């Protein structure tokens, strides 16, 4: 398996719940290293552009509204199979369907306030990392 990088966002609900450290701990104990990080309060334009792939979906307006409702913690994770591993740790989009022990099962409230974002493929990971972090602000964990 290859060493990959993925973009992770701890969403406003989880930041408000004060569980950044608990979520980071899950990354670390599962072999994912934080190699870039920043806290930000996204504008509607930034959140809308970040989730542009969902523009035509009925939930787009609510998604942008939620993602701009408070600060978020944004990080690049690096490790073996990082993209799929992070998605496994996150659990299903709807926390009611998320497997026990996943981040969304343990910390998410609803399909909208679902605690975390994670890139879903190598192509989206690359675009999403570049969206938030210039290369000079990403520090390889190796």
Which residues lie near ligand RTP (CB under 6 A)?
54, 59, 63, 93, 111-112, 114, 117-118, 120
CA 69 to chain centre: 16
Residue positions forming the annotated binding site for ATP: 11, 59, 87, 93, 104, 114
- Closest by CA to 40, choosing from 7, 10, 62, is 10
CA–CA separation, 113 and 135 (whole Å): 30
Q: How many CA atoms lie within 13 A of 61 on its CB side?
A: 1
Of 106 and 112, the one with the shorter C-beta distance to ligand RTP is: 112
- From residue 55, alpha-carbon distances to 21, 25, 47, 50, 132 in Å are 32, 33, 11, 10, 19
Binding residues: 11, 59, 87, 93, 104, 114
Q: Which is nearer to ligand RTP, 62 or 139 (CB)?
A: 62
Identify the sign of the CA torsion 103, 109, 111, 117.
negative
CB of 93 to ligand RTP, least distance (A): 3
Q: How far is the CB of 142 from ligand RTP (least distance, A)?
A: 26
Active-site annotation, residues: 117
Q: Report how far residue 70's alpha carbon sits from residue 57's, in angstroms, rounded to the nearest whole number.
A: 22
Q: Which residue, 33 or 117, has its beta carbon nearer to ligand RTP?
A: 117
Q: Shortest gap between Cβ of 121 and ligand RTP (angstroms)?
A: 10
């Amino acid at each position: 398996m290859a060493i990959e990088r993925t973009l992770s966002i701890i969403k406003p609900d989880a930041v408000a719940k004060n569980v950044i450290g608990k979520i980071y701990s899950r990354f670390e104990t599962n072999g994912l290293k934080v190699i870039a990080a920043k806290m930000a309060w996204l504008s509607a334009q930034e959140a809308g552009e970040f989730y542009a792939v969902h523009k035509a979906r009925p939930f787009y307006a609510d998604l942008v509204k939620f993602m701009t409702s408070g600060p978020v913690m944004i990080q690049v994770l690096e490790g073996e199979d990082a993209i799929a591993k992070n998605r496994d740790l996150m659990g299903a989009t709807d926390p009611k369907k998320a497997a026990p022990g996943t981040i969304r099962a343990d910390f998410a409230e609803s399909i909208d306030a679902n605690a975390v974002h994670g890139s879903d493929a190598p192509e989206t990971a690359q675009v999403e990392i570049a969206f938030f972090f210039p290369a000079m602000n990403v520090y390889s964990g190796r």
